[in-house]
Amino acid sequence: MGLVARGVLYALVGVLALKVALLGRGETPDRDTALRAIADEPFGRFLLGAIAFGLAGYALWQLARALLGGNLEGGDDDGVFKRIGYAARGVFYGALFVSTTMIVMGADEGGDRQKEDKATAYVLDLPGGPYLVAGAGLGFVAAGLFNFYRGLTRKFREKLKLVKMSKAEDRAYTVIGVVGFVARGVVFSLIGIFLLRAAYQYDPKEAVGIDGALAELAQASYGPFLLGLTAAGLFAFGLYSFVEARYREV
């Protein structure tokens, strides 16, 4: 359920961003935008409730991996940095579960497209705030590079039940995974770079989320083309999440 919920979110962000790239209008989306788009559809809140349930499961799974390491899935024990990554992922998807539940209950109809600015401004004002923001930026850059690495080396295949796939499925899913991980690497790296800039300039307005990272791509040279490629990649990562839900060793 958690992997399916993650897949739905990435696929929707990809579709909405591709629409912006092709039509040249509208705002670049993030996960909250995708969630509110679901809420506007018939039976949307029922579907959001199911997604919220999946997000809660995904968050708990990541926190369990942080606590128990690789032994949870019968593999080698994970190092401290991997466990920190699992914990951060668990906290993030836990927060996403909360925001999804609020939309289901009608408590977050409009959303807040400046939430990254506000959160960054709050952290910058803390003792050592710029260092905390810079640390978060480095974390996103590291996550982006790790996604590049997993995608280009196809390391993600190690967790899949390859013996249960046909050769055609293996080839297709590998292509989808490579494209998806590289696209996610682009987005995470951009978010990290802008967090580092916010810390260096002491300016919370420099911080961006997924929507801001996609907007930066749209404003670059050949922006619609780059945005379209990245959007297609995010959609591919959503499809890969469905593959994981079916074939991942859990």
CA–CA separation, 210 vs 214, rounded Å?
6
- Dist. CA 126–CA 18, nearest whole Å: 38
User: Token pair for residue 67?
Assistant: 């606590």
The DSSP element (H or E) to which 34 belongs, if any, is: helix 31-39
pLDDT at residue number 6: 93
- Does the pTM exceed 0.75? yes
Q: What percent of the chain has pLDDT over 90?
A: 40
- pLDDT for position 76: 66
User: Does the structure show a pLDDT above 90 at 82?
Assistant: no
Closest-CA residue to 121 (of 133, 109, 110)? 133
pLDDT per residue over 98-136, tens digit each? 988 888 887 555 555 566 667 778 788 878 888 898 898
Question: pLDDT value at position 102?
Answer: 87
How much is the pLDDT for 222?
77
pLDDT band at residue 72 under the 50/70/90 scheme: low
The pLDDT tens digits of the residues spanning 126-154 come to 788 888 988 989 989 999 999 999 999 99
The answer to whether 218 and 20 are in contact (CB under 8 A) is yes
State the Cα angle at 120 between 114 and 125, rounded to 5°. 130
Model pLDDT, residue 79? 79
